[in-house]
Amino acid sequence: MTATASPQTDARDLFAELTGATPAGFWSAPGRVNLIGEHTDYNDGFVFPFAIDGRTVVALGTRGDGRIRVVSTFDPVPIEVALADLDTLFPDRRDEIVEWARYPLGVAWALQDAARAAGVDPAPLTGVDIALASDVPVGAGLSSSAAIEGATASALNDLWGLGLTRVALARAGRRAENEAVGAPTGIMDQMASMLGRPDAGIFLDCRSLDADVVDLGFADAGLEVLVVDTRVSHAHATGGYGERRAACERGAEIMGVSALRDLVPADLDRARELMDDVTFRRVRHVVTEDQRVLDAVRLLRAEGPRAIGALLDASHASMRDDFEISTAELDLAVETARAAGAVGARMTGGGFGGSSIALIDSTLVDDAAARIVAAFAEAGFCEPHVFTVHPSEGARRDG
C-alpha cells in the first residue's frame, strides 16, 4: 500500500497540537483484506483474512484527572468524557457521541468491563489523551474500524497494565463496534488486525475463535494482491447488511441449527425444499462460502497460492448472484482484473460498495490497474483507487 504521509508523524503532530506535549508512546494496528469467507463470521463459520500494510496509529499521553480525550486527523474536534461516565454513555446514550469517537471511546468502555471481569478495579485507571491518524482508507471495506479499535485497545491495554490477550482485545473491539457504535459486525476484522503476520493469512473459526496463521507465499510466487476501492461507500449500520444477517438467522432457524456453520453443502437440497427462494440463496452463499474457505486453506498448503484462484472467482459469483451484495462497480473491477490475467478476483468486505481484490502476477499489476481505471471511465463510474496491499503484522507498540 503506498502511503502518502506517515500516520505516525501525523498522530505526533496532532497530539502536540492537542496537548502541547510529546506523546508517551505510539501503538498501531492494521486494516485487513478478507481473502475469502464473506458474511460467514456472524454465522459462526470460517474466514481467511490477512492484515494489510495500511495502519492506524494512536499517539497516547496520560492525564491525572480520570478523563479520556480523543482527536483524529479524520475530525480534529476533540471529544472528552470522564472514564467513569463511559458506563452510562454506552450503549444507551451513544447517540450523544459523534460517530467516529464512539470507536475509541467504545473500546475504552469495553476494556474497563473486560478489566472488571478479570478482577481489576477500573476506578483508578489513568486518564488519557489520544490522537489518531491513519492510512487505511475509510469505508472502503478494508476495515479502518478494526484498525482504530485494535490500535486503541493495544494502547490502553499496555497503559492500564490489563494484560489482556490479543483475542480478548479483539473481543473488546467487536463489542465497541456492536454496542458503542451500533454496527452489527462479526469478529473477523478485529481478529485479523490483532493477529496478522507478514506474508500470512489468519484462518479463523469464528465459533471457537481458534486461529491458525497460514503462510500465503504470495511474495515467493511473484503474486500481488491488487485492491480496487470503488469509492462507492457502504454503511454497515443501516440497510442491506442487517437484512442479510436476518435472512441467515431465519435460514438457521428453519433448518433447526444454531448457526449456518452447522450445515454442509449436502444439506442444501433439503434447505431448498423448506424455505423461500431468497432465504435459500442467502443460506447457499454462506454454506458454500464456508466450504470454499476450507478448500482454500487446504489448497494453499498443498499446492500454493495459484491453486486458490478458482475459489476466489466462485466466491465472487456467489456474492453477486446468491447473496446479492455486489455492485456494478465491483463486478466490473473483478471482470476486468480477470481479463487482465488475474489468478482470481472477488469483491471483499461487507459489500454494497467498498473494494475488490485480485490475486495477480506482479508483472501484470500496472497493466491491470490501467485497464480497470479505463473501464471505469468508459462505464461512467467514479474513478477508483487502485493499489496493492501486502500481508503484514498485526497490532503492536511502535515506540
Q: Which amino acid is at 24?
A: A
C-beta closer to ligand ADP: residue 134 or 388: 134
* Identified binder of ligand ADP from the candidate list 72, 152, 190, 193, rule CB under 6 A: 72
**Where in 42-193 does DSSP place strands (E)?**
46-63, 67-72, 75-82, 127-134
The tally of CA atoms less than 13 A away on the side-chain side of residue 141 is 31
Cα 245 from Cα 339, distance rounded (Å)? 33
Per CB under 6 A, which region of 98-106, 110-118, 309-317, 357-365 contacts ligand ADP?
A: 98-106
Judged by beta carbon distances under 5 to 8 A according to partner kind, the member of Mg ion, ligand ADP, none in contact with residue 381 is none
The item of ligand ADP, Mg ion, none sharing an interface with residue 56, based on CB under 5 to 8 Å by kind, is ligand ADP
Measured CA to CA, the distance from residue 135 to residue 64 in angstroms comes to: 31
Residues 124-153: x where in contact with ligand ADP by CB under 6 A, - otherwise, as a string: --------x-x---xxxxxxxx--x-----
Indicate the residue whose CB is closest to Mg ion. Answer: 145
Specify the DSSP class assigned to residue 258. Answer: S
Tell me whether residue 183 or residue 343 sits nearer to ligand ADP (CB atom).
183
**CA–CA dist 98, 58 (Å, integer):** 19
Based on the shown chain and the rule CB under 6 A, indicate whether residue 79 belongs to the binding site for ligand ADP: no
Strand order in the sheet with 344-348: 344-348, 355-361, 223-229, 385-389
Number of residues that bind ligand ADP (CB under 6 A): 19
Q: What's the closest the beta carbon of residue 160 comes to ligand ADP, in angstroms?
A: 21
Q: Considering only the stretches 8-16, 99-107, 155-163, 311-319, report the one whose residues sit in contact with ligand ADP under the rule CB under 6 A.
A: 99-107
138 binds, among ligand ADP, Mg ion, none (CB under 5 to 8 A by kind): ligand ADP
Q: What is the Cα–Cα distance from 139 to 72, expressed in whole angstroms?
A: 16
- Asked if 348 interacts with ligand ADP (CB under 6 A), we say no
The kind and range of the H/E element at 28 are: strand 25-36
> Could you say which of 42, 100, 352, 376 contacts ligand ADP (CB under 6 A)?
100
Q: Which does 327 bind (CB under 5 to 8 A by kind): Mg ion, ligand ADP, none?
A: none
Task: Return all residues near 93 (Cβ < 8 A) that are at least 6 apart.
Answer: none
Catalytic residue among 44, 53, 129, 189: 189
In whole angstroms, the minimum distance from the beta carbon of 178 to ligand ADP comes to 12
Coil, strand or helix: which one is 91?
coil
β-pair partners for 270: none
* Omega within 30 of 0 (cis) for the link into 265: no
Residue 74 contacts which entry, Mg ion, ligand ADP, none (Cβ below 5-8 A, type-dependent): ligand ADP
Query: What does the block give as the cell for 188?
Result: 473477523
- The listed partner (ligand ADP, Mg ion, none) that binds 230, CB under 5 to 8 Å by sort, is none
Looking at beta carbons only, is 112 or 355 nearer to ligand ADP?
355
Rounded to a whole number of angstroms, the minimum distance from the CB of residue 237 to ligand ADP is: 8
Residue matched to cell numbers 433448518? 255
Alpha-carbon gap, residue 85 to 114, rounded angstroms: 16
Cβ atoms 334, 316 nearer than 8 A: yes
Residues near 336 by beta carbon (within 8 Å), at least 6 away in sequence? 368, 371, 372, 375
Nearer to Mg ion, 251 or 354 (CB): 354
Which CB atom, from 43 or from 143, has the smaller least distance to Mg ion? 143
* Candidate list 25, 66, 74, 362; residue touching ligand ADP; CB under 6 A: 74
Say whether 189 is catalytic. yes
- Least Å from the CB of residue 147 to Mg ion: 9
Q: Which distant-in-sequence residues (6+ apart) come within 8 Å of 368 by Cβ?
A: 226, 336, 337, 340, 341, 342, 358, 360
**Looking at beta carbons only, is 144 or 318 nearer to Mg ion?**
144
Please choose, out of 97-105, 154-162, 215-223, 287-295, the segment that lies near ligand ADP by the rule CB under 6 A. Answer: 97-105
Single-letter code of the amino acid located at 54: G
Q: Look at residue 292 and give the partner it binds from Mg ion, ligand ADP, none, a contact being a CB closer than 5 to 8 Å depending on partner kind.
A: none
What is the total residue count of the chain? 399
The span from the CA of 273 to the CA of 356, in Å, is 33
Catalytic residues: 189
Q: What residue ranges bind ligand ADP (CB under 6 A)?
A: 56, 72, 74, 99-100, 103, 132, 134, 138-145, 148, 236, 349
